[in-house]
Structure 1
Amino acid sequence: MPETDARNRQVQGLDALELQPGKSVGDRGAAGIAGRIWAATWPKAVAVVIVLAAWQALVWSGWRTEYVFPGPDRVLPALLNEVTDPAFWSAVQVTMRRAFVGFALALAVGVVVGLAVSQFRPLRSAIGSLVTGLQTMPSIVWFPFAMLLYGISESAIMFVIILGAAPSIAGGLTSGIDYVSPSLLRAGQVMGLRGVQRYSLLIVPAALPMFVTGLKQGWAFAWRSLMAGELLVIINQENSIGWALSQARQLNDADRLLSYIIIVLVIGIMIDVFFNWADRSLRRRWGIAPS
């Protein structure tokens, strides 16, 4: 009978959905999380293995002597030795403190400039191209002037970090505001949003996806500026990542030098992962990315 056949198919479908013996919903959830972690991790692990193999092959080719260009078989033990030294973590703490303080200052300046430029057309005509031009300038160009202004001090480093990062942050915010839908602006006007509420409740949240992109680019400029600053501005022999790089170069210690280059790269990748996570979260919240 057709009804009996349909009922049998429904029962079979329910049987197929039953959990396997010994497995709970929590186990399936944990397995799903582990699967997602593995799917995100294995391509990076393969890339690392390929890079290490190519690096070691280049060393074995005799392109440079191992004294000048050591392979991973020498650099990785040196890296392990560094990360187990308390002085290393002190250097990382000093560098990251400078990075976060400088980026916070650049964020404050960039937000103010971005809001002002986006709302006042004469100001955009006056300094809009200047803000864009500042993004193209290498940060190292500013250091002689910064040292002339502030001497050998952290203020010189902060000055260059702000000049390097703030234009990108301002540009990202301005672009985000420019692409806010006019229908949203009209809806906010109908709802009576004025002044600070208009920005805090409507414009800035709508501009967040592009603003996060500007923040990511601003961090990249801030990080590069900081590394250049710590190499050029040695403050009372204070331990930092840049100071350690400079010391390794002066001592011709290629193993230690390359290990600190790897550390700089790893820190940059970790911050990039954070910004990518923030970007995906915003896209999911806005309904433009799968949950």
Structure 2
Amino acid sequence: MAASSKAPGTTAEPDVAGLEAGLDALDTVQVRRIPLRQVLLGKVLPPVVAVVLVLVVWKLLVLAHVTDDYKLPDPGAVWHSLRALWLNGTLLGIIWTSVSRGLLGFAAALALGTPLGLLVARVPVVRAALGPVLSGLQSLPSVAWVPAAVIWLGITDSAMYAVILLGAVPSIANGLVSGIDQVPPLYLRAGRTLGATGLRGARHVLLPAALPGYIAGLKQGWAFSWRSLMAAELIASSPDLGLGLGQYLENARTDSDMPGVLLGIALILFVGIAIDLAVFSPLERRVLRGRGLAAAR
């Protein structure tokens, strides 16, 4: 056996070239555009197939007469309700009434929840006082605030926005707190060394480093905003508020219009998913790509 070329007691020199190559591989983000055909097959086709399967099963249940027609109408009846709204010119107005409220309420919740989250995350006394309260409010069903908001503010848009704020602000604040808690302390020390303290540190160090958790909180905040608004529109319906999706659903229930009820549910689901796919999912992918955590799409 050949003797080792290293003398006893000496330390083996590190493989610098191999180490540098490994670090370069870790730092390199593989940016690759996925072909359109692959995107269609992987992203578009599965949900389309799922919707088709649901419609097929629905149609089979109707044909099998598993229940009365007024409880489970034919899919064609729901389509006729949708077509009637479109021909009457009221479909887009109904959707926009709710979407505009939801987006405006979410923007207000964002303006309140972000500084609140920063305070809770960085000030121990505030965290000890408000942290458990925010967690409790986040677990409280939004519909519980509707009666109180109606008594306080009447059946008005202000009551709708109050319910949205009470439902969304805790989620946004807790998401930011969670993101800040995961920021390595080294980042904060480096920021202080470079003079990024106070509001400058929060803007240039804390918020960028906490973006993944913050965006997760924003997605959940939008979900709570939309759910809160639908609960408020269902319970506190009034002609003065205009016809939104929640009030349309309640009107259909009052009229025992089951196709209208199912259409209202489908539209609420569609809008919630569309906002998430159009706004929050691309934003989340962009942030993750910037950190080398997701491939380009």
- For the residues of structure 2 that align with 1:81 and 1:38, how far apart are their CA atoms? 33
Does residue 54 in structure 1 map to residue 57 in structure 2? yes
Unaligned stretches of 5+ residues in structure 2: 1-31
Q: Please show how residues 131-280 of structure 1 align to structure 2 within 5 Å.
A: 131-237=134-240, 238-273=242-277, 274-280=279-285
Amino acid paired to 1:127: L
After superposition, the Cα gap between the structure-2 partners of 1:183 and 1:110, relative to the gap in structure 1 and judged at 3 Å, is: same
Amino acid paired to 2:56: A
Partner of 1:4: none
- Does the Cα contact within 8 Å between 1:154 and 1:235 map onto a contact in 2? no
- For the residues of structure 2 that align with 1:125 and 1:180, how far apart are their CA atoms? 20
Cα deviation, residue 187, structure 1? 1.4
Higher relative contact order (CA 8 A, sep 6+): 2
Cα deviation, residue 257, structure 1? 1.7
Q: Please show how residues 63-142 of structure 1 align to structure 2 within 5 Å.
A: 63-142=66-145
Deviates more, 1:250-259 or 1:173-182: 250-259
- For the residues of structure 1 that align with 2:186 and 2:34, how far apart are their CA atoms? 44
Cα deviation, residue 193, structure 1? 1.0
- For the residues of structure 1 that align with 2:238 and 2:69, how far apart are their CA atoms? 32
SS in structure 1 opposite 2:106? Answer: helix
Deviates more, 1:198-207 or 1:62-71: 62-71
Partner of 1:16: none
After superposition, the Cα gap between the structure-2 partners of 1:143 and 1:281, relative to the gap in structure 1 and judged at 3 Å, is: same
Amino acid paired to 1:246: E
Does residue 284 in structure 1 map to residue 289 in structure 2? yes
- Over aligned residues, Cα RMSD in angstroms? 1.8
- For the residues of structure 2 that align with 1:30 and 1:283, how far apart are their CA atoms? 16
- Runs (4+) off by over 6 Å: none
- For the residues of structure 1 that align with 2:179 and 2:70, how far apart are their CA atoms? 50
- What whole-Å deviation, never above 9, does each CA across 1:36-89 have from its counterpart, x for those lacking one? 234211111111111111222222332321122112132123223323432121
Amino acid paired to 2:117: G
> Which structure's residues are more often helix, by fraction?
1
- What whole-Å deviation, never above 9, does each CA across 1:213-271 have from its counterpart, x for those lacking one? 00101111110110111111123352211221121111111112211211111111112
Cα deviation, residue 139, structure 1? 0.8
Unaligned stretches of 5+ residues in structure 1: 1-28
Cα deviation, residue 127, structure 1? 1.3
- What whole-Å deviation, never above 9, does each CA across 1:195-218 have from its counterpart, x for those lacking one? 221111111011111111001011
Aligned length in residues:
263
- Does the Cα contact within 8 Å between 1:79 and 1:260 map onto a contact in 2? no
> TM-score scaled to structure 1, two decimals?
0.86
> TM-score scaled to structure 2, two decimals?
0.84
SS in structure 1 opposite 2:35? Answer: helix
- For the residues of structure 2 that align with 1:225 and 1:128, how far apart are their CA atoms? 22
